[in-house]
Structure 1
Amino acid sequence: MSTKIPNSPPADAARTSEDRSARLAVTVFPALVVLAALFAFLVPSAGQAIAPLISLFLGIIMFAMGLTLTIPDFTLVARRPLPILIGILAQFVIMPLVGLGIALLLQLPPELAVGVILVGCAPGGTSSNVIAYLSKADTALSVTMTSISTLLAPVFTPLLTLWLAGSYLPVAAGDMALSIVQIVLIPVVAGVVIRLLLSRLVDRVLPALPWVSVAGISVVVLAVVSGSTETIISAGALVLLAVVLHNAVGYLAGYWLARALKQGERAARTTSIEVGMQNSGLAATLAASAFSPAAALPGAVFSIWHNLSGALLAVYYRRSAERKAPATER
């Protein structure tokens, strides 16, 4: 979900309205995605009819993300480079390698293995910004990590997928990089530019942007699941196990890596959330276009699961933050 929520109270009514909308959207999002998946499973023809449009829907999601970004989101890189570097390295090292490890551990079939690895090679998920806010983590840091990993995705996602998944299926890294540029980089940059040029107009539509993302990802899940009904029947439990393990290891590894590198509690929670929550909608879209609907299934399941687990993690982190002394919340 392409939105951001500041750590401090919003300065204007538009931002306050966006905050409320984002919190509501992230609360109902898992239920809507589950309903979309169930509908696709029961009426697969509906999802198959819109499958050719999933790249368009993801592009709309990324454009909405761009509209929420401002220049201060990027200047944080210069002011706090170390925690951002830790988060980006963890994002593009831990999750891809964990994805490969899970594929080997569970002896996944080639299409599912590629799907799990591709989820790991994707940039951070935009709903992580809302989860970071709800967790009393560092939301500004979360937004910057998501933005930078998204901008780096055209380079790292195809290269990592080629390296780690090439033994399972042929990977057209160049075509994948071009797809990411078209459906991620260009829409995000366009959104940022429009925000700069038409900030007052964009402020009026900010409250609607979380719902644009909710609708877009629900449509992606609908399309992917509709083309994977046989795989769900035969390997659905295995895919769910792979996704749960992948997500949980990301949360834990992100947190403890940040703490091992002397980062504060809030930065560690932020890194945990950023590493564990992937842009699984992008992974599902790339897998469906570059491989098969079956390869896209792990991304679709991850879209459902990481929002459920993220909400639970937010409750745990928030309660933990309230129990600890203010001196530890740095």
Structure 2
Amino acid sequence: MEILSKAATVSALVFFISSMSAMGASLTVSQISRPLRNVRFISLAILANFVLMPLIAFTIAKVLWLDEPLAIGLLVLGCSAGAPISPKLSEIAKGNVPSTVAMMVLMMVITVVYLPVVLPMLLPGVTVDAWRIARSLLLLMLLPLTTGLILNAWFADLARRMKPVLDFISNVTLIGMTALIVITNSDRIVDVFGTRGILAGFVFIGLGAGTGWLLGGSDAGTRRVMALSTAQRNFAAALIVASQNFSDQRVAVIVIVISIVGLLLLLPLARALANPFGEKSPL
């Protein structure tokens, strides 16, 4: 199991780096910066991710009478936005990828500031190491994304040839990462049975997707971006907070379990959104 756990970590690292590099290799800085000038889009994204999702998490915990450690883990996830996997989900769903990348980077930056300020108010005694979260932003997202953007700007032909290779690597490692995470955490998933934690995860992800969809406006591509990006939470940031602050392992366990639920729900949802009339997915 230890070997599989290490393989899952390696798969995740390769996925994030190849996925972000592929996005950068197909985009320009102006394409990514343009959505950030859309005040309505950004305002609704912030509302969805940093007001409504924490509120949804809090409400679900109360309605389902979750044990305190599970409720805390769910709330931490509700406050953590900017998942590195969201651009890949948007690409699968044929959403607006530049908007997704812009939203992901902005949400992650806000998360780095938001968590240390808000979580101690919601959960007294909690401290958040902003640098540890920011480091994942820099190494797993911004650095490979910037490398891809530079490659596309200076060596466009090479970027076009590299894009399919990077896409293939990211697709393969996404499948491997998902399978390995499920396998290596199967005992933790079993431990959550009977606690209503898995049910909470399904409701949380479903309401997140619905909230993003409703706030996405009339454009289908933007709705897909908002739905998938709002539902998929920042697992890495939430797990850092959970492991740093709580001796009860169930806080980290519910973060892991709900993150698995998110992958299992949102990957098929992305494919369904790409082909609403039953057409075959290109992926």
2:123 partner SS: coil
Following the alignment from structure 1 to structure 2, what is the Cα–Cα distance between the partners of residues 159 and 79?
Answer: 21
Q: Which one-letter code corresponds to 1:307 in the other structure?
A: L
Q: Which one-letter code corresponds to 1:305 in the other structure?
A: L
Query: Is the 1:95–1:250 contact (alpha carbons within 8 Å) kept by the matching residues of 2?
Result: yes
2:80 maps to what in 1?
121
Distance verdict in 2 for CA 1:120–1:308, change over 3 Å: farther
Question: 1:73-222 residue pairs with structure 2 within 5 A?
Answer: 73-77=31-35, 80-106=38-64, 107-108=66-67, 110=69, 113-114=72-73, 117-118=76-77, 121-123=80-82, 125-133=86-94, 139=95, 142-162=96-116, 163-164=118-119, 167=123, 170-174=126-130, 175-222=132-179
Superposition deviation, residue 272 in structure 1: 4.4
Query: Is the 2:215–2:223 contact (alpha carbons within 8 Å) kept by the matching residues of 1?
Result: no
Superposition deviation, residue 219 in structure 1: 4.1
2:281 maps to what in 1?
none
Following the alignment from structure 1 to structure 2, what is the Cα–Cα distance between the partners of residues 303 and 69?
Answer: 25
Following the alignment from structure 1 to structure 2, what is the Cα–Cα distance between the partners of residues 169 and 231?
Answer: 26
Following the alignment from structure 1 to structure 2, what is the Cα–Cα distance between the partners of residues 65 and 112?
Answer: 35
Query: Is the 1:123–1:157 contact (alpha carbons within 8 Å) kept by the matching residues of 2?
Result: yes
Following the alignment from structure 2 to structure 1, what is the Cα–Cα distance between the partners of residues 11 and 124?
Answer: 24
- % of aligned pairs identical? 21
2:239 maps to what in 1?
287
2:246 maps to what in 1?
none
Q: Which one-letter code corresponds to 1:123 in the other structure?
A: G
Superposition deviation, residue 68 in structure 1: 2.8
Superposition deviation, residue 199 in structure 1: 1.4
Query: Is the 1:84–1:145 contact (alpha carbons within 8 Å) kept by the matching residues of 2?
Result: no
Matched, 1:66 2:24: yes
Question: 1:240-319 residue pairs with structure 2 within 5 A?
Answer: 240-258=198-216, 263-266=217-220, 269-270=223-224, 272-278=226-232, 283-284=235-236, 287=239, 291=243, 294=253, 295-316=255-276
Q: Which one-letter code corresponds to 1:126 in the other structure?
A: P
| Structure 1: segments with no counterpart, 5+ residues | 1-43, 134-138, 320-330
Query: Is the 2:87–2:104 contact (alpha carbons within 8 Å) kept by the matching residues of 1?
Result: no
Distance verdict in 2 for CA 1:222–1:132, change over 3 Å: closer
| Structure 2: segments with no counterpart, 5+ residues | 244-248, 279-283
Superposed CA offset, 1:252-273 (max 9, x none): 2223334xxxx43536634543
Distance verdict in 2 for CA 1:252–1:285, change over 3 Å: closer
Following the alignment from structure 2 to structure 1, what is the Cα–Cα distance between the partners of residues 52 and 90?
Answer: 20
Following the alignment from structure 2 to structure 1, what is the Cα–Cα distance between the partners of residues 67 and 119?
Answer: 14
Following the alignment from structure 2 to structure 1, what is the Cα–Cα distance between the partners of residues 175 and 34?
Answer: 32
Query: Is the 2:20–2:145 contact (alpha carbons within 8 Å) kept by the matching residues of 1?
Result: yes
Following the alignment from structure 1 to structure 2, what is the Cα–Cα distance between the partners of residues 228 and 56?
Answer: 18
Superposed CA offset, 1:98-130 (max 9, x none): 234334443155267426633662225113423
Query: Is the 1:111–1:168 contact (alpha carbons within 8 Å) kept by the matching residues of 2?
Result: no
Q: Which one-letter code corresponds to 1:49 in the other structure?
A: K
Superposed CA offset, 1:190-222 (max 9, x none): 221222122111111322333322233334435
Alpha-carbon RMSD: 3.6
TM-score by length of 1: 0.64
Distance verdict in 2 for CA 1:108–1:148, change over 3 Å: farther
